[in-house]
Amino acid sequence: MTDLLNLVDWSRAQFALTAMYHWLFVPLTIGLSLIVALMETIYVRTGNVKWKNITKFWMTLFGINFACGVATGIILEFEFGTNWSNYSWFVGDIFGAPLAIEGIVAFFMEATFVAVMFFGWNKVSRGFHLASSWLTAIGVSLSALWILVANAWMQSPVGMTFDPAQMRNVMTDFWAVALNPVAINKFLHAVFSGWALAGAFVVAVSCWLLWRRSNIEAMRRSLAIGAWVGAIGLLLTMWTGHGSAVQVARVQPMKLAAMEGLYNGGNGAPLVGVGILRSSDEIAAGGDPMLWSVEIPHGLSLMLDMNTTGYVPGINDIIAGKARGADGTEITTESYAERMVAGAEAKAYLARYNTARANGDSTAAAAYADSVAANFRYFGYGYLDSPEAAVPPVHLTFYSFHIMVAGGALLMLVFLAFILVYWRRRQMLEKPWLHIAGILSLALVYIVSQAGWIVAEVGRQPWVIQDLMPTGAAVSDVPVSSVQTTFWIFAVIFTGLLVAEASIMVKFINSSAKKNIETQN
């Protein structure tokens, strides 16, 4: 058992390491591709060669980041087979289909047109080159779409049925999977957050060069576009964030409770603006979960239902079998203890099905298959040791969520300040303190981005597939030492890759400070 726990922990750590490094590159790729396309559109519409050269500057930074994102993404997909083979088999074609579409369609689309972007200047018409830039941006977003479709299915499995003969899930409705409301919302949220991150990146780089008194006009123009794209992206991120909360309340109420540190829910649940949770031991002893908090009365119910009296279950309520109905009222469902019984029965019937099938008893096998289907909804609970095992790491989820929200609000103020300064007080763009604020916004936006990813993935633990497969049942049967070794190898490689990207970008940016971007060939 100890070896299994170590294997699960190290496998999770390795995947988290890869995913978080990958997520350093992906949002910037999504957002910068849009900004580059917008800048080139201005160039084509105005014919002003200065905009062409500004576009080339940001396109180079996009290319550096794009290459690093591809490298980490490929490793991430291989880990499904090396570290999570049980999961890969269990999900069948449901998970593989979106990833295959992403690789065959979206990735090849962006890979094809990105070549025209970089090498097609003066070789193809302005219109064709502009179309290539926009198709690259669309291809980047489509890559995110299909990956997030696969991820959303893990958080809200739909459009499938379990086939006991194959011991895996089989897709029955492709469009239910592709148009899963969770998937659509996650896709929009990820894309818009990419716009916000890239906007902050452009603002930060522009402020750095303005601080050095280099390429002032080019950087002022870049800063304006970065601030506008960032502000619009962040505003839309907040809107889709509200949609995410509504979807989480529907399909992952335990995650929502962890996000709010809500142990005992009720009607008219408050929304925690700022708070400090007590230790797990103090909470388990029955104390007030919140050591200190500033709450918005009825805020959580209002956010979910537009109704101040709507019911929102807490962690203890969900374990006991209380849930929120479609109309926002309190309803009773299976407790976690009852779900564990149903899951254990599904596992037992599956074992009997396999025995009957091996013995050629088709009648008994069919009866056991029906019993598996009747209990399959809570199949994953049969692997849990206790109802409390289905509670995610509350403290990490709670603090990550509130860091994300607070950081996003602060970032919006930064974007709005730069927009106001650019249009009303442009002379203030010479102030060093404003440059420093813009540069620091880059660190802030990455903290917010990583915190959001932690909320999404840590908040759904212990499930790798919601209610159907816990993380402990998904790992490959490989030596712990192998996973530990590859973890440290990847840690070194990814850190080196990040350092290399940062150093190449810094070197390119600093070299640009020594020449006039707007007049370069």
Which structural domain range is residue 340 located in? 336-387
Task: Give the pLDDT confidence of 162-183 residue by residue, as tens digits.
Answer: 999 888 899 999 999 999 999 9
| Domain membership flag for residue 101 | yes
Q: In residues, how long is the chain?
A: 521
| Domain membership flag for residue 189 | yes
Give 488: exposed, middle or buried? Use CB within 10 Å, 0-12, 13-18, 19+.
exposed
Give 146: exposed, middle or buried? Use CB within 10 Å, 0-12, 13-18, 19+.
buried
**Cα separation values, 163 from 63, 88, 339, 353, Å:** 44, 15, 21, 11
Same domain membership, residue 349 and residue 485: no
Task: Give the pLDDT confidence of 293-305 residue by residue, as tens digits.
Answer: 899 999 999 988 8
Same domain membership, residue 20 and residue 124: yes
Determine what percent of the chain is predicted with pLDDT higher than 70. Answer: 97
> Tell me, what's the pLDDT at 3?
55
Please identify, among 286, 309, 332, the residue that sits at the C-terminal boundary of a domain: 332
Same domain membership, residue 303 and residue 361: no
Closest to 365 measured CA to CA, from 173, 100, 165, 87: 165
Q: What average pLDDT does the structure give for the chain? A: 89
Same domain membership, residue 512 and residue 476: yes
Region 243-266 average pLDDT = 93
Dihedral of the CA atoms 190, 191, 196, 201 (nearest 10)?
100
Same domain membership, residue 401 and residue 377: no
| Domain membership flag for residue 503 | yes
> Tell me, what's the pLDDT at 66?
84
Same domain membership, residue 405 and residue 364: no
| Domain membership flag for residue 498 | yes
Lowest-confidence segment of 53-57, 107-111, 171-175, 431-435 by average pLDDT: 107-111
Instruction: Look at residue 1 and tell me whether its pLDDT is greater than 70.
Output: no
Same domain membership, residue 502 and residue 373: no
Task: Give the pLDDT confidence of 116-132 residue by residue, as tens digits.
Answer: 888 888 889 899 999 99
Same domain membership, residue 229 and residue 81: yes
Lowest-confidence segment of 28-37, 241-250, 277-286, 381-390 by average pLDDT: 277-286
Instruction: Look at residue 268 and give its three-state secondary structure.
Output: coil
Closest to 162 measured CA to CA, from 434, 306, 13, 376: 376
Measured distance CA(370)–CA(271) in Å, rounded? 43
Closest to 29 measured CA to CA, from 160, 149, 195: 195
Task: Give the pLDDT confidence of 354-408 residue by residue, as tens digits.
Answer: 999 999 898 999 999 999 999 999 999 999 999 999 999 999 999 999 999 999 9
Please identify, among 307, 332, 357, the residue that sits at the C-terminal boundary of a domain: 332
Determine what percent of the chain is predicted with pLDDT higher than 90. Answer: 54
Same domain membership, residue 273 and residue 351: no
| Domain membership flag for residue 174 | yes
Measured distance CA(367)–CA(440) in Å, rounded? 63
| Domain membership flag for residue 69 | yes
User: Crossing angle for the helix pair 2-46 and 49-82, nearest 10 degrees?
Assistant: 160
Region 481-493 average pLDDT = 89
Residues 6+ apart with CB under 8 A from 306: none
Same domain membership, residue 289 and residue 220: no
| Domain membership flag for residue 521 | no
> Tell me, what's the pLDDT at 317?
95
Measured distance CA(470)–CA(2) in Å, rounded? 17
- Number of domains composing the chain: 3
> Tell me, what's the pLDDT at 74?
74
Residues 6+ apart with CB under 8 A from 433: none
Nearest-5° angle of CA 80, CA 389, CA 164?
50
Same domain membership, residue 441 and residue 341: no
Please identify, among 310, 332, 354, the residue that sits at the C-terminal boundary of a domain: 332
> Tell me, what's the pLDDT at 333?
93
Residue 448 pLDDT grade (very low, low, confident, very high; cuts 50, 70, 90): very high
Residue 20 pLDDT grade (very low, low, confident, very high; cuts 50, 70, 90): confident
Same domain membership, residue 324 and residue 226: no
**In the block, which residue shows the tokens 């069919």?**
366
Q: Which residue has the higher pLDDT, 246 or 106?
A: 246
Instruction: Look at residue 224 and tell me whether its pLDDT is greater than 70.
Output: yes
Task: Give the pLDDT confidence of 32-90 residue by residue, as tens digits.
Answer: 999 999 999 999 999 888 999 899 999 999 988 887 777 777 777 777 778 888 888 88
Q: Which amino acid is at 254?
A: M
> Tell me, what's the pLDDT at 439?
93
In DSSP terms, which residues pair with 202 in a beta bridge?
Answer: none
Measured distance CA(512)–CA(517) in Å, rounded? 7
